[in-house]
Structure 1
């Protein structure tokens, strides 16, 4: 049985379930090394402005170790935030056959890549894309520097089409690339008699003052610049000036733009806010809305896992063309829409009906089923 060491910053709900599945196969001796040791009992999320304690299990069912991080400003938000002098030694003690590194842009992660390259196979997982990349001298030098970085990996697990283009643009060959899709715990978002998500969502809608015929557009995420919640608020305001029945907008989350968003929305009865909701509440939240909208712009929305969650919850999605998952997940006019500019988004919202939302949602839930943790596990086992 081969031994696989995984290097990542901290436990999250998008990784822990497939770590557990991989370990449960009994076909690999797995150990996960977490390099942001300060997150062992909760993550200080600077954008949400609070300590996040996820309410789903993230540390059971697989072997792991938190490696001491000595960074003066610890975190996964900058290169120097992950500094683990004992990491390489801890990995060597485990004595793996292969090391899989999540993200190169942390001091200790890149050190692992450089140290083990040529000793054992170095695998890599990241989700960067070329979307939003601007032409010019900066792009030229960035391409050169990234080609240097990716010389230190033997195989990359790409999450989708845009991510694959990114790896190829930086020197990786087809035979170095393996598809291992970005996924969520689809089963947790599917409804059942026991979960009763639909009825719980209908109750919540009534508490928020929504009628049975109110069409609710949901935004769920951090209130920050890259996700453009202000843009969405202004679009909905403009759309409601011409729609016979106004659209309701529900924004769920927290972040640095919260106060300004509430200020520009305070006299608009069609716009409401809810604070950050933990994982067990999200399958209900998506069902409070009739359609999910992610208007992110720029290179930082490399995928958009909220889209997976919304689709698994039976909700169609409306995305900016700068959201990384769009080309893979969205079948335009069947499970969602993709817009390039504000005018296109306005027209989509003006023409949106409850019946269209139902059709989009039914297709979305069917289409997301293949994007599953089991596919990731299968790809790793086959690569072993």
Structure 2
């Protein structure tokens, strides 16, 4: 049995089912270390409210919280946001054969890498950086990172878990060889979402009635925090340009841009826009089930876009910007969705019009999306990890 120490900054609802599945493997002895209790019944600054996820975060696997001694605790990219000195003692005590770490953003990440190497544990890294976004950085930044990553940090990493094509290209850009790469696709709980699809797929009109939407209206769906990198104002602008009174835009989320979104809707007199506020995991399926197309307009900072995975479990076509990694792996342009240039509102508007006016396209997208998402599952991740262990 292989002893694995899986270290995460904080509990994440998308990771918990994967951790449970890994713990179920007879050849894996898994323990998870969390570096902070952020998101566990606390205030989410981006949602601007206290969040209590209604899906189980800790069922089915061993876990422990490690004390964070940071003077300014944070999980939003601040290098000094996680300072967990006792992680060194935890690694020494647990004596893992493999340590899996997410990224290199925090001081604690570097502690883990250094002492895991010192204690002769194999180090596996999981990061999300896509090459298409990386190459938009200044050349001097890329040069410094190439020196730091290719010639130092990546030299001590034994395996790299890549979430998709752009992430794989990122690793290869910084000198990682193919034999060190493990495909660990960014995934959601496909079984759960597909069962929800089966549950609601024949209840579209009923769901529309519950939301107060006319049954003959087509529905555009946006899922994500109301924040800059999600570009929600672009979605509202594109929607306003579509000349179709039988169209409703539902925007699931909450965040700092709500006031600007409300102001724009009021100023431009845009009808049929619903800003739902925060919707918990147990309720989100109803919105995917009632929708006709998912819109994701994110810019730099959106490394993947798991809402695309969720939408495809409901057979939805997706209109997505060209920044998120999911666009390159899950969307076949012109077949089960469209990819537009980030920030190009006119192009976004044209693709919205095409999708809502072409019933055959939407029907064909159902099977294409449902089949494509099968390759991006927790089962695939666990299978590939098992193969690499053996």
If the length of structure 2 is used for normalisation, what is the TM-score? 0.92
| Structure 2 SS opposite 1:250 | strand
- Comparing 323-332 with 137-146, greater Cα deviation is found at 137-146
**Alignment match, 1:205:** 208
Q: Counterpart in 2 of 1:86?
A: 86
Any conservation in 1 of the 2:316–2:369 contact (CA below 8 Å)? yes
Superposed CA deviations along residues 297-353 of structure 1, whole A, max 9, x for unmatched, are: 12x111111100010122111100111111111112221111123332222122222
What is aligned with 2:387? 382
- Aligned counterparts, 1:31-46, within 5 A: 31-39=31-39, 41-46=40-45
Measured after TM superposition, the shift of residue 43 of structure 1 is 4.5
Q: Equivalent residue for 1:3?
A: 3
Partner of 1:293: 295
Residue 10 of structure 1 and its aligned partner are, at CA, apart by 1.5
- Pairs within 5 Å for 1:245-260: 245-260=245-260
Tell me the equivalent position of 1:232: 235
**Cα distance in 2, alignment partners of residues 13 and 321 from structure 1:** 26
Q: Distance in 1 between matches of 2:288 and 2:370?
A: 12
Distance in 1 separating the partners of 2:319 and 2:62: 39
What do the CA deviations read for 1:164-189 (whole angstroms, capped 9, x no partner)? 01011112111111111111101111
Aligned-residue offset at 1:220? 0.8
Give ranges in structure 2 of 5+ residues lacking alignment.
none
CA contact (8 A) 1:71 1:81 kept: yes
Q: 2:54, 2:318 → 1: CA distance?
A: 25
CA contact (8 A) 1:48 1:254 kept: yes
Within the alignment, does 1:181 sit opposite 2:203 as a pair? no
Do the aligned residues in 1 keep the contact of 2:216 with 2:246 (CA within 8 Å)? no
Cα displacement string for residues 3-47 of structure 1 (whole angstroms, at most 9, x for unaligned residues): 1101111221221111111111221111000111355x3343211
Residues 38 and 74 of structure 1 are in contact (CA less than 8 Å); yes or no, is this contact kept in structure 2?
no
The answer as to 2:358 corresponding to 1:357 is: no
CA distance, structure 2, for counterparts of residue 38 and residue 210 of structure 1: 37
> How far is 1:262 from its partner?
1.0
User: Once superposed, what is the RMSD of the aligned Cα atoms?
Assistant: 1.9
Quick one: distance in 2 between partners of 1:175 and 1:258?
46
Residues of 2 paired with 1:191 and 1:314: CA distance? Answer: 12
What residue number does 1:269 align with? 271
Structure-1 separation of matches of 2:187 and 2:147: 31
What TM-score does the superposition give when structure 1 sets the normalisation length? 0.93
- For the 8 Å contact 1:184–1:373, the answer to whether it is kept is yes
What's the CA shift for 1:152?
A: 3.1
Structure-2 residue corresponding to 1:107: 107
1:313 aligns with 2:317: no
State the match for 1:57 in structure 2. Answer: 56
Q: Which of 139, 143, 146 is residue 146 of structure 2 equivalent to?
A: 143
1:61-80 alignment runs, 5 A limit: 61-77=60-76, 78-80=78-80
- Return the alpha-carbon distance in structure 1 between the equivalents of residues 157 and 340 of structure 2: 36
Q: Which consecutive unaligned segments of at least 5 residues does structure 1 have?
A: none
Aligned length: 378
**Separation in 1 of the partners of 2:253 and 2:115?**
40
- Between the aligned partners of 2:347 and 2:303, the Cα distance in structure 1 is 22
